Amino acid sequence: NTIEFTGALHETVVKQVRLKNPSGKTLQYGAILVGRDADDFSVPKGNTVTIRPRRQTTINVEFTSRFLRPAEAVLLLITKRVGGIEGVTLAFSLKSEVNHVEP
């Protein structure tokens, strides 16, 4: 899955990622940003995401552009074992585009 961030130079763009837990056990993920421009992206509410059984949650991913060139990174959500259950690792491609420059 690819998440695209489009905005003005030096603007912060926020996107939401929805995560679902269909199991009967709590899932916990650790969020890691990797790649060439990983420092331009962030998960502002911390790097741990907990999803209760049969629920869903959203996490915010922020991008602040520093350059005109497109930025790229990968958001990895790696499960942490909670109560003997382990989910799958999720990966999202993060890409940006600067579409406006103000003097």
pLDDT of residue 24: 86
pLDDT classification of 97: cutoffs 50, 70, 90:
very high
Find, among 13, 11, 3, the residue nearest to 91 by Cα.
Answer: 3
What CATH number is associated with residue 75? Answer: 2.60.40.10
What digits encode the pLDDT tens for the residues 2-40? 999 999 999 999 999 999 998 888 889 999 999 999 999
Find, among 25, 42, 45, the residue nearest to 33 by Cα.
Answer: 42
What digits encode the pLDDT tens for the residues 40-87? 999 999 999 999 999 999 999 999 999 999 999 999 999 886 666 667
Q: How many CA atoms lie within 13 A of 94 on its CB side?
A: 32
Measured distance CA(58)–CA(69) in Å, rounded? 28
What's the domain count of the chain? 1
Domain of residue 7, residue span: 2-100
Find, among 19, 9, 6, the residue nearest to 65 by Cα.
Answer: 9
